[in-house]
Structure 1
Amino acid sequence: MRTTLIAFAALAATVATAQATQQPAPTPAAAEAVKGGAYALDKSHAKIVWGVSHLGFSTYYGEFTDFDAQLTLDAAKPENSKLTVTIDLNSVDTHNEKLDAHLKNPDFFDVAKYPAATFASTRVQRTGPTTAEVTGDLTLHGMTKPVTLFVTLNKAAPGPMTQVYTAGFSAEATIDRTQFGMTTYAPALGKDVKLLISGEFNLKS
């Protein structure tokens, strides 16, 4: 009898585990459930990472460490939402001081002449319950071109530590640096630069 009970318990545990693993993962609330209003970027929980092909051998990554953003969110009519971003290009960081200095000179960003890059949204199109395409004007290296961010809403809720209402997003985009006059070493050094962005925005009280 004891052996039978042990076998039955083991079988029940196996079935329960299998059922648990078959349950769909929880999904974030749909965008329309997010509180509308003006949001400020939480700079301590935000990243802008870029990657570019290095002669075809590898993808070289860097980041910008000083930037700010403002978001006005209209959850009911997302097409009315607005996003503005300002990036201090002097904050480019590859963890290689020599390379950082080269990226800041006229071969690339030319930060003495063009110290900042800006993005201002011009169109927001919802593409799914938690996704949207945000198109805007990117001004970089003295030139302005349209760029589209592919955005995902990760979560919106009061922060468990601060109780401040927070909306968290991830985004990706690809820009052709040669369109902004940054042609050094192209195409051996990739002309397409991929941006990986993640940030938390706090609802202003």
Structure 2
Amino acid sequence: MPIRKIEYNLKSSDRTTIRNEMIDLFKKEVPGTGRKDLSSKYIYEVESYLGYNILLKRPAPLNKGFDFIVSVETPDSLNIFPSKSGMRMLKNPSHSNISTILSDFSGLNEDIYIEIIRPLINSIYKGENVSFSNQEPIGYFRDRNNVQHPIEVILLAAKWLFIEQDITYWNWSGRAMLFSHLVDNGLI
């Protein structure tokens, strides 16, 4: 089956309705008829900022029902997140990648972080539908290859990681998993 690519704009702005909206979207997917080439695959473009795209890729390899992978597509197709081992670069950020980038940014831009980034993270965590589409970058972070990227990309990736956690771990802590990781690292 071909990969279906869909542009999607989130409408909801609270934790419960966001979760329901995304599950309703995923319920519209065409079922697969088997494994590998016979499975249905979807890529949802959910955010776009200065040529960067936040993509949701389904199904996720761990096969947890409504689970998805959050992926960041850069204008030059770079993989900007180091893997756990540090041996490879990936398009999908981990909680550790998010906190490391935010920590580095905070260290270099403490005032901007405290006045702008931290409140944005709190708004995103609360489920507010934050968008940066018509805005100049707040600031930049550098990847391992010293290439600059707008910090908004990390905030948008975090937004969708929060949503992914709510869908996958609703009956447990959901989005609090990533948020607690940020709190534990002094970023909130």
TM-score surpassing 0.5? no
Structure with the higher helix share, 1 or 2 = 2
Larger Rg: 1
TM-score, L = length of structure 2: 0.29
Which has the larger strand fraction?
1
The TM-score, its normalising length taken from structure 1, stands at 0.28
